[in-house]
């Protein structure tokens, strides 16, 4: 499931409720410019993943 990782788009991967790695995505000019895989436990502890805000569905 997509998430915001410290305010940037990304994909967290977890098993048994434990965050294993994060695929961070850098977007430039509306296109994916780079990926970063973060798997270092120390760096993962410092990340703040959050569900992205989505606009309400039309009625």
- 3 C-beta neighbours (distance < 10 Å), count: 16
Task: Tell me the pairing of strands 8-15 and 3-5.
Answer: antiparallel
The answer to whether 52 and 2 are in contact (CB under 8 A) is yes
Q: Can you tell me the distance from the alpha carbon of 41 to that of 12, in angstroms, rounded to the nearest whole number?
A: 13
pLDDT at 29: 93
pTM of the model: 0.68
pLDDT at 54: 62
Task: Tell me the pairing of strands 49-50 and 31-38.
Answer: unpaired
Tens of pLDDT along 37-56? 999 999 888 877 776 666 55
Place of tokens 């309400």: 56
């Amino acid at each position: 499931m997509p998430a915001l990782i410290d305010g940037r788009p990304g994909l967290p991967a977890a098993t048994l409720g434990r965050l294993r790695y994060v695929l961070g995505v850098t977007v430039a000019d509306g296109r994916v410019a780079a990926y970063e895989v973060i798997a270092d436990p120390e760096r993962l502890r410092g990340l703040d993943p959050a569900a992205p805000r989505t606009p309400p569905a039309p009625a």
